[in-house]
Structure 1
Amino acid sequence: MKLVELHARAMELTVEVVDDVRPDRLDRPTPCAGWTLRRLLEHCVGQHRGFAAAARGAGPDLALFADATLGADPAEDFRRTGADLVAAFREAAVTDRALWLPEIRDGGPFPLAQAVGFHLVDTLVHGWDVAAALGAADRLVAAVDGDDALVTALLAVSEAVPNTPEARAPGRAFRPGLEPGGGAGRFDRALALLGRDPAWKARP
């Protein structure tokens, strides 16, 4: 399945970003309101584990998606669990297994392509969150915009996310959509659709 390999590419690019996270940077703010880099990575690693379990046939068990406790090397935790998720999606693609995702709508089961699309968006958007927190978002944006297949998939899934008051209420995955600025690239457009300000900068 082509989307599985696009997800693997998204993970590769995001791992490159997260590899720059040192322990002394974990308290930096991120574009996720109220979340430090530590909190964001705890969430991401927990999602890697939950989606991998779902791809291997786990039922709708919310506990599988719990935020992780990071070890001494959070970047390694992200890299290792990300690689395991990529492998799990490839395994699931052999049989086109549907996934139970208890955090999303009615929990599913969701077709594999849809589930992979969900996580592809999460991977790139949270990768951007990390890069923005580190003051280095431009490199990731350029890499994604330069990969036509990847950015097309990202934008297609982002455009399909409901932008209703109920879907974008406080506590939901995404904030209300924003209007992208003039001349915005496709990655910036996807970020704006999902409620991220592409111009976000951490306060000094």
Structure 2
Amino acid sequence: MHTNDGGRAGDLDAPARQSPGAALVAWDAEAVRASAELVAQVTPADLARPTPCAEWLLRDLLDHMTAQHRGFTAAAQGRTSLSPWRVRPEPDPVDAYQRAAAHVREVFAQPGILQRRFLLPEIAADRAFPAVRAIGFHFLDYVVHSWDVAKAMGMTAEFAPDLLDAALAIAKEVPGGSTRLTPGAAFAPALPGRGGGPLDTILTLLGRSPDWPH
């Protein structure tokens, strides 16, 4: 699966000509779009496939991804409740994901989004994050989750080099240490580097093996 195509080549060059914040919003939208293209190919029979996320089947991963979109959308709208972040089994995980993905892209594209602050109760209940930082968290997640879905489906996730450079810069800032060993940690401890491209480096920094399932 190739997650971008020649028809969008001009669009993929656009973030490089924007302000850093606007570029990040554009890269995030592209990562979410790529994930949605991959999820669109998931059939009911695929939902029981294993994924690179330990102990999660593809159905579980999609429910998590949907909840994260809803949580970030709520945060961008100034809502502080934990309710949107809660993972719940979806009767149709693919449809639920597509709707949540479209909504978060719509909200992140609103004028003034970069001047907002996001309360992310799953990360810190007592402080709000600048929009650029919060959207950066979301962006990195959906680069990695696109790869997760692609791997589960036996496909390939590919992104523009500039997008991967932006994601790699954020991945390098993710704290390591004992926090990654706690139950429910977003990422596993980093793995040894293997000298691959930017996507491989992002994955190993965040504790995923580019060679999964091996």
TM-score normalised according to structure 2 size: 0.85
Distance 1:157 1:88 in 2: 22
| Deviation of the 1:75 alpha carbon | 2.1
Letter in 2 for 1:103: E
User: Is residue 192 of structure 1 aligned with residue 192 of structure 2?
Assistant: no
Distance 2:109 2:208 in 1: 30
Distance 1:172 1:116 in 2: 19
Unmatched 5+ stretches in structure 2? 1-21
Change (3 A) 1:93 1:190: farther
User: Is residue 157 of structure 1 aligned with residue 192 of structure 2?
Assistant: no
| Deviation of the 1:92 alpha carbon | 6.1
Distance 1:95 1:114 in 2: 10
| Correspondence list, 1:21-170, <5 A | 21-59=42-80, 61-72=81-92, 74-91=93-110, 93-94=112-113, 96-136=115-155, 139-140=156-157, 143-144=158-159, 147-170=160-183
| Deviation of the 1:168 alpha carbon | 3.9
Equivalent position of 2:213 in the other structure: 201
Check conservation: 1:56, 1:92, Cα contact below 8 A: no
User: Which ranges of 4 or more aligned residues in structure 1 deviate by more than 6 Å?
Assistant: none
| Deviation of the 1:79 alpha carbon | 1.5
Identity of aligned residues (%): 40
1:16 corresponds, among 37, 40, 52, to 37
**Cα RMSD for the two superposed structures:** 1.6
| Deviation of the 1:94 alpha carbon | 4.3
Distance 1:127 1:181 in 2: 21
Distance 1:42 1:78 in 2: 7
| Deviation of the 1:29 alpha carbon | 0.9
2:193 corresponds, among 180, 195, 199, to 180
State the secondary structure of the residue aligned to 2:175. coil
Instruction: Spell out, residue by residue over 1:108-145, the C-alpha distance to the aligned partner (whole angstroms, 9 max, x if none).
Output: 30000111010111111111111111111xx31xx22x
Letter in 2 for 1:113: V
Distance 2:121 2:113 in 1: 23
User: Is residue 171 of structure 1 aligned with residue 177 of structure 2?
Assistant: no
Unmatched 5+ stretches in structure 1? none
State the secondary structure of the residue aligned to 2:170. helix
Letter in 2 for 1:51: F
User: Is residue 2 of structure 1 aligned with residue 23 of structure 2?
Assistant: yes
Distance 1:159 1:30 in 2: 24
Change (3 A) 1:22 1:163: same
State the secondary structure of the residue aligned to 1:29. coil
Letter in 2 for 1:68: R
Distance 1:195 1:92 in 2: 35
Q: How many residues matched?
A: 193
